[in-house]
Structure 1
């Protein structure tokens, strides 16, 4: 009977265990003892012997790189470059993807051995397919209104870009509005485009004093009408006291009769609009409500940032119960227990810490660590099969 240093054929597609044809070792570094032999069974004298090894494949220590891993100039370990994902060696050693370009609104990554660009700006796209000029096409124009080649051929309906919706349309969405200076406005009420584009109203009117918290502006396409200043309202209908309601109050938050719930405040949202904030369990931080128990940018209090890039390398921070907690990035670990250098150990490539601290490959034989596992290959009774 042959010694049992075999792996089931169904598991033979990758590197599952590391062996040197004398014993087996799993990727966690623990040894797997060989079988001591089969247990006793009863057979008839004329029964044919069964082939216990049928369908099994033996694996031995591999000492060469296996695709897509390779060793490139500057490598720290044998076979530590994955040509499918490494942005500095994308598809082949030395082929680097372009650097991220915030000015051109693009970021770059290596995907399946090819450099891939992602546009990061809402109003720009890559329409010519050339990486060097990144996201070269500005949206919001008549030639590329809301996408590459989406034109606005009608001169009466030019492209209008909505910065809040991050989208463009040919002409104004609302038929009652008019396009003025690349914005859609209602000329019946617009103080800067009263009755037509460019007609500005004099807030002082004809020299008479406006009511309290009011000015003279556009109404029904005509200047000189008393209007409430921003964030004030005439909620009692009395023209004598003008616009008496503060729309940042909890009793008129953003409009007459809008009352905030007990414990809430009336504050500006991210667009500067008066809004009742915050619901129970949330804290108001920089114009928004957050849960300081879990928010990584406001952990335990406003402006406590767990994601500060100056923190330890190869780690990411998150917020747990109001405290910043740091976790190693995938493929990295903290094996020296020194918080100053963060997660310093490369679990994907370090043969002395392959997949985990202290998990050692056969370094003397030159066995590489590939993607966090000690490399093995199918072999015959006499050694690796070539």
Structure 2
């Protein structure tokens, strides 16, 4: 008797309901009466205004996943107690995704219909499930970003070289507290004359294993001089920037490359004055020798002083 009265009342309110949806409001009236013990304010009154359960999970619902469960509208795509259909609960710790119970995901990942996904970095699930980035772009911080040039990676702060960037060393946001970033690894500060390499501080001017740049190995038998690999010198000579030199006797490279003896000669790698036969020595000769002359050329007009 009560249900018949409700149906009659709703029929009187037909003008309040969009005619193209429910002419005379008869469909909602019948549905509310069939599905609610006490439809009244919960279903019938809102239906007269074109809203309520009849329009949320009833005959005129907009979402297919909305179902009437226990006299309440439930989204069976996401509700853990009504997953896929009414009264189908998921086990403890799992969640309902796309109407299917999914196991709990590890920290940093979210449950999607296709499994656990990192919504911060997955280009097929960027920011939320099943939200792909366009071809060539990547997902950073849950946002799609354009592709970076070769040798650089997409970070929240932009395109970065993870091999050398001290603020993004090896990974985005990894800051080197001191020193520099080499090969994606933070390196300590090096002493003067040395450079940081993945294997430590190296002298790129002379290290045959790191000649000019880290990891550049000179061929066997050659040496590194002035950041360039040079072929081996004959026995008794050393490689200098200007070529192979005898550091024991070369007055322009005495004891070390580029060490010039201003006066005299180079003996055993040490600069010293010339020695002449005793018969040729005189005060003038000695003065001449101190100015770099030779044993057979005496000073003239005191030009040695």
TM-score by length of structure 2 reads 0.30
Structure with the higher fraction of residues in helix conformation: 2
- Greater strand content: 1
Structure of higher RCO (CA pairs closer than 8 Å, 6+ residues apart): 1
Structure 1 or 2, whichever has the larger Rg, is 2
Q: What TM-score does the superposition give when structure 1 sets the normalisation length?
A: 0.25
